[in-house]
A and B are shown apart, each in its own frame.
Chain A
Amino acid sequence: MRRFFLLLALACATSQWLAGASLRVPDHVPAGQELSIPTGGSGEATLYLFGPSHVAKRRVKLGSPVVLAGDELVNAGRYVVVLNGESSTFFVTAGPVSTLAFIARPSRVPAATRDVVSGTVFLFDRNQNLVLSPQPVSFSLSVTGAPDVQRTETSKGGIAWTRLDSSRRAGAAQFIASAGAASVRRVVQEVASEPCNIRMHAERAKGGAIELQTDPIRDCAGNPVPDGTIVTFTSVDQSGRSTVDARIKRGIAQAELPESRQATISVAAGVVIGNEIRWGGGQ
């Protein structure tokens, strides 16, 4: 009797070995790639596949390889395959970088400012899995008429980031992030800073009014202050104070103030004050 149980246990162990020992899978499989799992034994068995976003169950023939299609392995993560009472675990890893999510901040920056532009890149494969393995990511910031600013960073945990200086020249800077075959472009508007020096001149208009016009208004780096910026002309004379909030157009601001025998005329934009003219009494 004891010999009978010993033989039965040995037979079970042998059958288990024949069926289960054949469920051998690699530790890591690239996402979206077909996987063939060799099986031993004969007859049919039920295969279960548990993944991060996919579960499958099907009958398979033992003795011939079981094929898991690429569609079943698109999401990176831990997978468990169970066949005939045996289970095995493997990891699906992200494929090569295919797309980038690029966040560039801010969308407008003053020109000639240090560490003012930040770029953050998230790396994804073609199945939108975060590529966790370190990847070189290059950042480039270029504006017409100024040398490009370039930097290469290595991603960590699927993310790469950088901080760059804005160039001295104002304009729409092209901020490009590239990794592998993927590349994404954002536009960062580099704008002039505060006006550096406002200078105006006055002339008598035909009707006697005072015609005022500034020289081209620029910041201290020589960039023209954007059109539309408010420039306030103020005239103070015996009849009171007159003001015109003019807009810079094509780099200059101009306005017409009422006729006056003697007036003090000033100009300002934001917190910056320009020259003063004493009308009627010489400048």
Chain B
Amino acid sequence: MKLILPITLVVLAAALIAAGTIHSTTLAPATTPDRAVQSLLEHVKAKDMRGAYSYVAKQSDINLDSFSRDVKGSDGSLRTYSTLQEFPTKVLNQNDNQAVVRATMQWSSAVGAIYDTRDLQVVREDNSWKVLWPVVKQPKVPPQVIPVNYLRWDIITRGSDDDWGAQNVDAPRVRIVSMNAIERDGGTIVLGEIVNEDTVPAFISVNATLLGKDGAVLGQEESFDKVSHTLLPKEISPFRIDFPNVTLAKVKSVRMQPASLLVAAAADPVIGVLHQRLEKDLRGRPVLKGELINQSGQIVNIPHVLATYYDGSGRVIWVSDGYVNQALMPLTPVPFAVDVRDDLVANVHSYRVTVNEYSINARQP
């Protein structure tokens, strides 16, 4: 009788441990195309790549490792720091054996929400629906040496024992070459371009102050990430400063305050922007598309694309930006797309794309 209680407890503990550690390897089969996509993305959200992969059709010709790299990201890209939040789906067409489901994935990341819309093919396989995951073939760059004449700027600053006449080297000379204030969604947006006219690199920021009719300050904002902060000599960056709650009618003047600091910087990597073109995306919205190519030998982990749009007179009419999920491997093109305002497409005469880069293991300048 004395042994009954301990034995019962041991058996109960073993049962609980077993229940907690042993999972069923078979997941519920998807009975509809929509359910297949939903199930796959639910497992992606839970970071269960093996579970998500079980909803991938064999025809996809993609292994678990490649699937995980595509979904979770790799090489320190922005996707590796992102989490899938929402994924509304919509069946675009369906027959007995196949269907097309549009998934609009919203990823949360350090730089805000990132949307990724994919039209996924879903096929019937083994009495259940499975997703034909699009294979993204990464071109393999053969082993090689990419010669880089590494260029950087170093600064000797004033020492504590220098006399008071010995001042630091002057800050770089920067200039706002164009500025335009527009109204959108009840707010004022200040757009323009700034150039580093100097022969040394500059760390820049652009601040704007809106002044009302009585000279009162209506708002003060800075460009934050809608600008390239590090400008090499003669480099031009767009900037955009948003004032969400100030209508343009209230603004009498805008006071611009560009600021620059001399910083140690490196001239690499060089990123080419290829095949830029205005197109419609899957949802029919206008986007500026193209490919980025890293012409240097080091990996660029998080590319940030800034696009400037000009009208027929060369005036900046819009600045948009977007982060690219993939890291830029050397000499490997990576597609990008940034939104363009619907109402501006007709007025866009030309555009210019520049790229900011954030590298985790970059050589320190």
Distance A100 CA – B163 CA, assembled complex (angstroms): 9
A228-B267, A230-B235, A243-B353 as given contacts; A103 in contact with B273, CB under 8 Å: no
Q: Which residues of A contact B169 (CB under 8 A)?
A: 107-108
Q: Is the CB of B198 within 8 A of A99?
A: no
Contact B233 A228 (CB under 8 A): yes
B151 located at the interface, meaning its Cβ lies under 8 Å from any Cβ of chain A in the complex: yes
List B contacts of A108 (CB < 8 A).
169-170, 198-200
Cross-chain contact A107 with B272 (CB below 8 angstroms): no
- Chain A: CB-nearest residue to B201: A228
Beta-carbon contact of A250 and B234 below 8 Å: no
Q: A108-B170, A108-B199 are in contact. Are A255 and B295 (CB under 8 A)?
A: yes
Give every chain B residue within 8 A of A151 (Cβ-Cβ). none
Q: Which residue of A lies closest to B168 (CB)?
A: A107
Assuming the contacts A103-B165, A242-B273, asked whether A226 and B199 have C-beta atoms less than 8 A apart, the reply is: yes
Number of A-B contacts (CB under 8 A): 101
What count of chain B residues pass the 8 Å CB interface test?
A: 38
Give the bracket for the number of chain A residues in contact with chain B: 35 or more
Question: With A242-B275, A243-B352, A269-B234 in contact, do A101 and B200 touch (Cβ < 8 Å)?
Answer: no
Are the C-beta atoms of B272 and A230 separated by less than 8 Å? Answer: no
Set B201, B235, B276: member contacting A245, Cβ < 8 A: B235
A106 surroundings in chain B (CB, below 8 A): 170
A73 at the A/B interface (Cβ < 8 Å)? no
Q: Is B277 an interface residue (CB 8 A)?
A: yes
Distance between B151 CB and nearest chain A CB, rounded to angstroms: 5
Instruction: Say yes or no: is B12 at the interface (Cβ < 8 Å to chain A).
Output: no
B153 at interface (Cβ–Cβ under 8 A)?
A: yes
What are the residues of chain B within 8 A of A258 when measuring CB–CB? 274-275
Which of A11-19, A59-67, A85-93, A184-192 lies at the interface? A184-192
B170 with A228: CB separation less than 8 A: no
Q: Mark A225-251, 1 if CB is under 8 A from B, else 0.
A: 011111000000001111111110110
Q: Is the CB of B270 within 8 A of A246?
A: yes
Known: A99-B163, A107-B170, A243-B352. A228 touches B274 (CB 8 A): no
Closest CB in chain A relative to B174 CB, distance in Å: 12
A150-174 to B contact mask, C-beta < 8 Å, 1/0: 0000000000000000000000000
B24 contacts the other chain (CB 8 A) = no
Is B165 a contact partner of A229 (Cβ separation < 8 A)? no
Interface residues of B in 223-251 (CB under 8 A from A): 232-236
Instruction: Out of A102, A189, A229, A239, name the residue touching B275 (CB < 8 Å).
Output: A239
Give Cα A270–Cα B295 distance, bound, in whole angstroms. 21
| Cβ contact within 8 Å between B234 and A257 | no
- CB-defined contacts of A105 to chain B, threshold 8 Å: 170
Q: Does B260 contact A (CB under 8 A)?
A: no
Residues in A with CB closer than 8 Å to B275 are: 239-242, 258
Interface residues in A98-143 (C-beta closer than 8 Å to B): 99-103, 105-108, 122
- Are A247 and B232 in contact, with the CB atoms below 8 A? yes
Partner of A228, one of B151, B165, B290, B351: B151
Does A256 make an interface contact (CB < 8 A)? yes
Q: Which residue of B lies closest to A100 (CB)?
A: B165
Please give the distance in Å from A143's CB to the nearest CB on chain B.
Answer: 15
CA distance A196 to B197 in the complex (A): 15
Whether A247 lies near B276 (C-beta < 8 A) is no
A99-B163, A108-B198, A184-B165 known; A247-B267 Cβ under 8 A: yes
Residue of B nearest to A244 (CB): B272
Contact residues in A for B351 (Cβ distance below 8 Å): 241
**Beta-carbon contact of B151 and A240 below 8 Å:** no
Given contacts A243-B273, A249-B267, A257-B272, list 10 more A-B pairs with CB under 8 A.
A103-B167, A228-B153, A228-B232, A228-B267, A241-B276, A242-B273, A244-B270, A245-B270, A255-B270, A255-B295
**Nearest 5 pairs of A and B residues by beta carbon:** A240-B277, A101-B165, A270-B234, A244-B272, A247-B267
Cβ contacts A to B, 12 pairs, < 8 Å: A100-B165, A101-B164, A101-B165, A108-B198, A184-B163, A228-B151, A229-B232, A241-B277, A244-B270, A244-B272, A245-B235, A257-B274
